[in-house]
Structure 1
Amino acid sequence: MKPYICRALFRTALVVAALGAGGACAFAQEAGGIWMRDDGAARIEFSPCGPALCAVIVWLKSPTSKAHVGQQVFFDMTRADQNSWTGKAFNPEDGKTYSGKMTLSGNRLKTSGCVLGGLICKNVTWRRAG
């Protein structure tokens, strides 16, 4: 085989290998769907709301909670990077809205409601339901 053909085939193989390896790492995780709080107290469902994600409560273990089914608890959550979002979080227990962050890792979702520019945060871990 001619040397210039070998070089062309080698370069083509390198490009194909690089695209294949890079493509596997470039997929962003999606947070849509139903999530159960790690203590089993609630389930929320994330779905698109305009260009962002929002979540409403779809199930509660205790009917005496200040929260109620259908209540929106996360809104305006926009993607910060491949596996995290920022927006707003509503806490039904105190009736206040906080700056919200969430990070997805496999079937685990960590959400945070923060005050004072993120200096004080309350974290909750969720697992994908179903």
Structure 2
Amino acid sequence: MKKYLLGFGLLFAFSMLLAVLPARAAVGPDDVLGVWKNGEGTGMIQIYKSGNKYFGRLVWLKVPNTPEGTPRTDVNNPDEAKRKTPLKGLVNMRDFVYSGDGKWSDGKIYDPKNGSDYSCEMTLTDANTLEVRGYIGVSLFGRTDVWKRQAMKK
């Protein structure tokens, strides 16, 4: 009888624990779509889908113009022909695929601050928080930036 009571007590305690833990909503492939502000607050990136892949483009810059008043361009691009490309509208994320469980992988991210391209993966930690990890080689050697979803203005 004591074994049954102990078993019932453990089952009851476990079910109560499950009841109070927050349920994680299922994440779908298109849940990453939208406008996100980077961790520094210096830019906003619109993530969009083309075919079965996901891309991102710069749609807002905190400092959109140079001191001379002209739009900022991709001055650090290693390809000299691209250095006059405006930063606003620049596709700086490309080729992400949804790999399940709120993760997008196999992508690339371009950092216009230094003109470098990195491997990248994204993880949606909740509906409004996106962890973006850029790395060289393996993900262990990289940096994660936390982005926040921005409300769409109508």
* Superposition TM-score, scaled by structure 2 size: 0.63
Give the TM-score, by structure 1 length: 0.73
Write the letter of the residue equivalent to 1:99. S
CA distance in 1, matches of 2:110, 2:147: 16
Given residue 110 of structure 2, which amino acid in structure 1 is its aligned partner?
Answer: F
Alignment correspondent of 2:146? 125
* Ranges in structure 2 where 5+ consecutive residues have no aligned partner: 1-22, 67-71, 75-86
Three-state SS of the structure 1 residue aligned to 2:138 is: helix
| Alignment equivalent of 2:100, drawn from 81, 98, 108 | 81
Q: Find the partner of 1:112 among 125, 128, 133.
A: 133
TM alignment of 1:45-60, pairs within 5 A: 45-60=46-61
Amino acid paired to 2:120: G
Contact 2:121 2:133 (C-alpha < 8 Å) held by counterparts: yes
Say if 1:108 and 1:54 are closer, same or farther in 2 by CA, change over 3 A: same
> Which is further off, 62-71 or 33-42?
62-71
Deviation at 1:40, TM superposition (A): 1.5
**RMSD of equivalent CA atoms:** 1.9
Shift of 1:77: 0.7
Determine the C-alpha separation between the residues in 2 that align with 1:66 and 1:116.
Answer: 28
> Which amino acid letter does the alignment assign opposite residue 101 of structure 1?
E
Alignment length, in residue pairs?
Answer: 107
Q: SS in structure 2 opposite 1:38?
A: coil
- Is residue 71 of structure 2 the alignment partner of residue 70 of structure 1? no
Match of 2:112 in 1: 92
**Which stretch shifts more, 36-45 or 62-71?**
62-71
How far apart are the structure 2 equivalents of 1:66 and 1:40?
Answer: 19
Residue 119 of structure 1 deviates from its aligned partner by 3.1
